Protein backbone atom coordinates (compact mmCIF):
# COMPACT_ATOMS: atom_id res chain seq x y z
CA UNK A 1 0.00 0.00 0.00
CA UNK A 2 2.77 2.39 0.98
CA UNK A 3 0.27 5.03 2.05
CA UNK A 4 1.82 5.71 5.44
CA UNK A 5 -1.67 5.54 6.96
CA UNK A 6 -3.80 2.43 7.52
CA UNK A 7 -6.97 1.89 5.57
CA UNK A 8 -9.80 1.41 8.03
CA UNK A 9 -13.49 0.89 8.56
CA UNK A 10 -15.54 1.44 11.70
CA UNK A 11 -18.65 -0.73 11.95
CA UNK A 12 -18.37 -1.42 8.24
CA UNK A 13 -18.22 2.21 7.14
CA UNK A 14 -15.26 3.43 5.15
CA UNK A 15 -13.80 6.46 6.84
CA UNK A 16 -16.05 5.83 9.83
CA UNK A 17 -15.31 7.75 12.99
CA UNK A 18 -14.82 6.48 16.53
CA UNK A 19 -16.99 8.12 19.19
CA UNK A 20 -15.16 9.97 21.95
CA UNK A 21 -17.34 7.99 24.38
CA UNK A 22 -16.19 4.61 23.07
CA UNK A 23 -15.02 2.48 25.98
CA UNK A 24 -12.12 1.12 23.99
CA UNK A 25 -10.71 4.64 23.88
CA UNK A 26 -11.69 5.55 27.43
CA UNK A 27 -10.75 2.37 29.28
CA UNK A 28 -9.08 -0.07 26.90
CA UNK A 29 -12.32 -2.05 27.21
CA UNK A 30 -12.03 -4.48 24.34
CA UNK A 31 -9.89 -6.99 22.49
CA UNK A 32 -7.93 -7.10 19.26
CA UNK A 33 -6.27 -9.46 16.81
CA UNK A 34 -3.37 -8.87 14.43
CA UNK A 35 -3.27 -11.10 11.35
CA UNK A 36 -0.84 -11.55 8.51
CA UNK A 37 -2.40 -11.07 5.07
CA UNK A 38 -0.76 -13.03 2.25
CA UNK A 39 -2.12 -13.30 -1.28
CA UNK A 40 -4.99 -11.08 -0.12
CA UNK A 41 -6.07 -13.71 2.43
CA UNK A 42 -6.04 -13.28 6.23
CA UNK A 43 -3.89 -16.10 7.63
CA UNK A 44 -4.98 -18.31 10.53
CA UNK A 45 -8.41 -16.69 10.45
CA UNK A 46 -10.27 -19.43 12.33
CA UNK A 47 -7.76 -19.46 15.17
CA UNK A 48 -7.80 -15.69 15.49
CA UNK A 49 -11.59 -15.60 15.52
CA UNK A 50 -11.73 -18.27 18.23
CA UNK A 51 -9.43 -16.18 20.45
CA UNK A 52 -11.35 -12.99 19.65
CA UNK A 53 -14.64 -14.58 20.68
CA UNK A 54 -13.05 -16.09 23.79
CA UNK A 55 -11.72 -12.67 24.77
CA UNK A 56 -15.13 -11.07 24.28
CA UNK A 57 -16.72 -13.80 26.39
CA UNK A 58 -14.17 -13.31 29.17
CA UNK A 59 -14.86 -9.56 29.26
CA UNK A 60 -18.63 -9.93 28.94
CA UNK A 61 -18.77 -8.28 25.50
CA UNK A 62 -21.45 -9.50 23.11
CA UNK A 63 -20.19 -12.12 20.61
CA UNK A 64 -18.95 -10.86 17.27
CA UNK A 65 -20.94 -11.65 14.13
CA UNK A 66 -18.06 -13.40 12.40
CA UNK A 67 -19.74 -13.55 8.98
CA UNK A 68 -20.35 -9.80 8.96
CA UNK A 69 -16.83 -9.13 10.20
CA UNK A 70 -15.33 -11.30 7.46
CA UNK A 71 -17.41 -9.47 4.84
CA UNK A 72 -16.08 -6.14 6.10
CA UNK A 73 -12.51 -7.46 6.01
CA UNK A 74 -12.91 -8.83 2.49
CA UNK A 75 -14.40 -5.55 1.27
CA UNK A 76 -11.47 -3.67 2.76
CA UNK A 77 -9.01 -6.00 1.05
CA UNK A 78 -10.81 -5.63 -2.27
CA UNK A 79 -10.59 -1.85 -1.94
CA UNK A 80 -6.82 -2.10 -1.59
CA UNK A 81 -5.44 -4.44 -4.29
CA UNK A 82 -1.89 -3.49 -3.29
CA UNK A 83 -2.55 -4.93 0.15
CA UNK A 84 -2.09 -8.54 -1.00
CA UNK A 85 0.66 -8.74 1.60
CA UNK A 86 -0.19 -6.56 4.57
CA UNK A 87 -1.13 -6.56 8.23
CA UNK A 88 -4.76 -6.75 9.30
CA UNK A 89 -5.80 -5.46 12.71
CA UNK A 90 -9.25 -6.18 14.10
CA UNK A 91 -10.44 -4.33 17.19
CA UNK A 92 -13.66 -4.99 19.06
CA UNK A 93 -14.62 -2.64 21.90
CA UNK A 94 -17.57 -2.82 24.25
CA UNK A 95 -19.00 0.20 22.43
CA UNK A 96 -20.02 3.62 23.66
CA UNK A 97 -21.15 4.41 27.16
CA UNK A 98 -21.73 7.06 29.76
CA UNK A 99 -19.07 8.32 32.15
CA UNK A 100 -17.94 5.77 34.76
CA UNK A 101 -16.53 2.27 34.78
CA UNK A 102 -19.80 0.36 35.03
CA UNK A 103 -20.50 -1.37 31.68
CA UNK A 104 -23.87 -0.89 30.03
CA UNK A 105 -25.31 -4.41 29.56
CA UNK A 106 -27.04 -3.20 26.41
CA UNK A 107 -23.93 -1.69 24.79
CA UNK A 108 -23.44 -2.49 21.11
CA UNK A 109 -19.82 -3.47 20.37
CA UNK A 110 -17.73 -1.35 18.02
CA UNK A 111 -15.87 -3.13 15.20
CA UNK A 112 -12.74 -1.58 13.72
CA UNK A 113 -10.75 -3.18 10.89
CA UNK A 114 -7.46 -1.73 9.65
CA UNK A 115 -4.97 -2.61 6.95
CA UNK A 116 -1.35 -1.63 7.52
CA UNK A 117 1.66 -1.86 5.26
CA UNK A 118 3.82 -4.92 5.78
CA UNK A 119 6.95 -3.51 7.41
CA UNK A 120 9.85 -3.41 4.96
CA UNK A 121 12.57 -4.64 7.27
CA UNK A 122 15.12 -7.40 7.52
CA UNK A 123 13.71 -10.73 8.54
CA UNK A 124 14.74 -12.31 11.82
CA UNK A 125 14.45 -15.88 10.55
CA UNK A 126 18.21 -16.43 10.80
CA UNK A 127 18.41 -15.13 14.36
CA UNK A 128 17.87 -12.02 16.44
CA UNK A 129 19.29 -10.26 19.47
CA UNK A 130 17.00 -9.78 22.47
CA UNK A 131 17.21 -8.05 25.82
CA UNK A 132 15.70 -8.57 29.25
CA UNK A 133 13.29 -5.78 30.16
CA UNK A 134 13.25 -4.27 33.62
CA UNK A 135 9.46 -3.84 33.62
CA UNK A 136 7.64 -6.68 35.38
CA UNK A 137 4.22 -7.89 34.27
CA UNK A 138 1.42 -7.77 36.82
CA UNK A 139 -0.38 -11.03 37.60
CA UNK A 140 -4.11 -11.15 36.87
CA UNK A 141 -5.53 -14.60 36.06
CA UNK A 142 -8.86 -13.07 34.99
CA UNK A 143 -7.15 -11.31 32.08
CA UNK A 144 -4.32 -13.78 31.46
CA UNK A 145 -4.16 -15.25 27.97
CA UNK A 146 -6.54 -12.88 26.18
CA UNK A 147 -5.41 -10.06 23.93
CA UNK A 148 -7.18 -7.16 25.59
CA UNK A 149 -6.63 -3.57 24.51
CA UNK A 150 -4.63 -2.42 27.52
CA UNK A 151 -1.01 -2.84 26.34
CA UNK A 152 0.63 -0.20 28.57
CA UNK A 153 3.02 -2.75 30.05
CA UNK A 154 4.25 -3.61 26.57
CA UNK A 155 4.47 0.06 25.60
CA UNK A 156 6.61 0.84 28.64
CA UNK A 157 8.79 -2.22 28.13
CA UNK A 158 9.37 -1.44 24.47
CA UNK A 159 10.51 2.06 25.37
CA UNK A 160 13.45 0.62 27.33
CA UNK A 161 15.74 0.27 24.31
CA UNK A 162 16.54 2.22 21.16
CA UNK A 163 19.17 -0.08 19.66
CA UNK A 164 17.80 -1.19 16.23
CA UNK A 165 19.93 -4.32 16.51
CA UNK A 166 17.76 -5.57 19.37
CA UNK A 167 14.57 -6.99 17.92
CA UNK A 168 12.70 -8.10 21.03
CA UNK A 169 12.55 -7.68 24.79
CA UNK A 170 11.69 -10.51 27.18
CA UNK A 171 9.35 -9.91 30.10
CA UNK A 172 9.21 -11.44 33.59
CA UNK A 173 6.39 -11.32 36.12
CA UNK A 174 6.56 -9.98 39.66
CA UNK A 175 7.94 -13.28 40.97
CA UNK A 176 10.76 -13.34 38.41
CA UNK A 177 9.19 -15.98 36.15
CA UNK A 178 9.90 -15.58 32.44
CA UNK A 179 6.62 -15.01 30.61
CA UNK A 180 6.91 -13.75 27.01
CA UNK A 181 8.31 -11.10 24.68
CA UNK A 182 6.87 -7.63 24.24
CA UNK A 183 5.25 -8.78 20.98
CA UNK A 184 5.82 -12.52 20.99
CA UNK A 185 5.70 -15.79 22.86
CA UNK A 186 8.86 -17.55 23.99
CA UNK A 187 10.11 -21.13 23.68
CA UNK A 188 13.32 -22.69 24.97
CA UNK A 189 14.97 -26.02 24.24
CA UNK A 190 17.08 -27.97 26.72
CA UNK A 191 18.30 -31.52 26.03
CA UNK A 192 15.63 -31.89 23.36
CA UNK A 193 12.75 -30.76 25.61
CA UNK A 194 10.72 -27.85 24.23
CA UNK A 195 9.30 -25.60 26.97
CA UNK A 196 7.09 -22.52 26.83
CA UNK A 197 6.08 -20.46 29.87
CA UNK A 198 2.79 -21.06 31.65
CA UNK A 199 0.45 -18.13 30.97
CA UNK A 200 -2.12 -18.82 33.68
CA UNK A 201 -1.21 -15.65 35.61
CA UNK A 202 -0.36 -13.15 32.88
CA UNK A 203 0.74 -12.91 29.26
CA UNK A 204 -0.97 -13.41 25.91
CA UNK A 205 -1.68 -16.91 24.62
CA UNK A 206 -0.50 -16.29 21.07
CA UNK A 207 -1.94 -17.95 17.99
CA UNK A 208 1.50 -18.96 16.72
CA UNK A 209 2.32 -20.38 20.16
CA UNK A 210 -0.61 -22.78 19.76
CA UNK A 211 0.49 -23.64 16.23
CA UNK A 212 4.04 -24.39 17.41
CA UNK A 213 2.78 -26.59 20.25
CA UNK A 214 0.60 -28.49 17.81
CA UNK A 215 3.42 -28.88 15.32
CA UNK A 216 5.83 -30.07 18.04
CA UNK A 217 3.33 -32.74 19.00
CA UNK A 218 3.13 -33.94 15.41
CA UNK A 219 6.92 -34.04 15.29
CA UNK A 220 7.08 -36.14 18.46
CA UNK A 221 9.06 -33.41 20.22
CA UNK A 222 8.79 -33.61 24.00
CA UNK A 223 6.91 -30.47 25.04
CA UNK A 224 6.12 -28.84 28.35
CA UNK A 225 4.14 -25.79 29.45
CA UNK A 226 5.49 -24.73 32.83
CA UNK A 227 6.96 -21.94 34.91
CA UNK A 228 10.35 -20.82 33.58
CA UNK A 229 13.00 -19.17 35.72
CA UNK A 230 15.97 -17.10 34.63
CA UNK A 231 18.37 -19.98 35.29
CA UNK A 232 16.49 -22.17 32.81
CA UNK A 233 16.51 -19.33 30.31
CA UNK A 234 20.26 -18.80 30.55
CA UNK A 235 21.03 -22.54 30.48
CA UNK A 236 18.87 -23.30 27.43
CA UNK A 237 20.39 -24.85 24.34
CA UNK A 238 18.06 -22.92 22.02
CA UNK A 239 15.67 -20.00 22.32
CA UNK A 240 13.08 -18.69 19.89
CA UNK A 241 10.18 -16.26 19.82
CA UNK A 242 7.09 -16.43 17.65
CA UNK A 243 3.94 -14.63 16.63
CA UNK A 244 1.48 -14.62 13.72
CA UNK A 245 3.43 -12.05 11.71
CA UNK A 246 7.04 -13.13 12.19
CA UNK A 247 6.53 -16.88 12.40
CA UNK A 248 9.54 -18.22 14.32
CA UNK A 249 12.64 -16.16 15.07
CA UNK A 250 15.62 -17.86 16.75
CA UNK A 251 17.15 -15.82 19.56
CA UNK A 252 20.92 -16.02 19.10
CA UNK A 253 21.86 -13.44 21.74
CA UNK A 254 20.17 -12.38 24.98
CA UNK A 255 22.20 -9.68 26.71
CA UNK A 256 25.63 -11.36 27.13
CA UNK A 257 24.32 -14.91 26.55
CA UNK A 258 24.70 -16.62 23.18
CA UNK A 259 22.53 -19.36 21.70
CA UNK A 260 23.69 -21.04 18.50
CA UNK A 261 20.84 -21.85 16.09
CA UNK A 262 19.65 -25.38 16.88
CA UNK A 263 18.06 -28.33 15.14
CA UNK A 264 14.74 -28.14 16.99
CA UNK A 265 14.17 -24.50 16.10
CA UNK A 266 15.24 -24.87 12.48
CA UNK A 267 13.11 -28.00 12.11
CA UNK A 268 10.04 -26.21 13.40
CA UNK A 269 10.73 -23.26 11.10
CA UNK A 270 10.94 -25.60 8.13
CA UNK A 271 7.76 -27.48 8.94
CA UNK A 272 5.77 -24.35 9.78
CA UNK A 273 5.31 -23.58 6.10
CA UNK A 274 3.53 -26.91 5.68
CA UNK A 275 0.48 -25.73 7.62
CA UNK A 276 -2.62 -25.79 5.41
CA UNK A 277 -4.53 -22.74 6.56
CA UNK A 278 -7.56 -23.50 4.37
CA UNK A 279 -8.15 -26.88 6.02
CA UNK A 280 -6.60 -26.13 9.44
CA UNK A 281 -4.32 -29.13 9.23
CA UNK A 282 -0.77 -30.14 8.32
CA UNK A 283 0.32 -31.30 4.91
CA UNK A 284 2.00 -34.69 4.82
3-state secondary structure (DSSP) of residue 195: strand
| Residue of 93, 96, 131, 147 with catalytic role | 147
| Residue of 33, 34, 93, 131 with catalytic role | 34
Strands (E), the chain: 7-10, 13-14, 30-38, 41-42, 86-93, 110-117, 128-137, 166-173, 178-181, 185-190, 193-197, 223-226, 238-243, 247-254, 257-258, 275-276, 281-282
Q: d(Cα 249, Cα 262) in Å, to the nearest integer?
A: 12
Q: Is the dihedral of CA 213, 217, 221, 223 positive or negative?
A: positive
230-243 residues labelled b (16+ CB within 10 A) or e (exposed): eebbeebbbbbbbb
| Residue of 72, 180, 182, 196 with catalytic role | 180
Q: What contacts 28, CB < 8 A, 6 or more positions away?
A: 148, 149, 150, 151
Active-site residue 147, yes or no?
yes
Name the DSSP class of 87.
Answer: E
Give catalytic residue positions: 34, 147, 180
Amino acid sequence: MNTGMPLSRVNGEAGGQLSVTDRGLLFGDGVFETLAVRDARPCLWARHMARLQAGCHRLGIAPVDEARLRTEVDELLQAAPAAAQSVLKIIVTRGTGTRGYRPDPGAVPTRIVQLHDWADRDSGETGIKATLCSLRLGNNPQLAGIKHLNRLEQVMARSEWDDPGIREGLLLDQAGRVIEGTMSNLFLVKDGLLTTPDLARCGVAGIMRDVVLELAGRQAIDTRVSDVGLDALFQADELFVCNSLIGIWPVVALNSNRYPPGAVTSGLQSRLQDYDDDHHTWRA
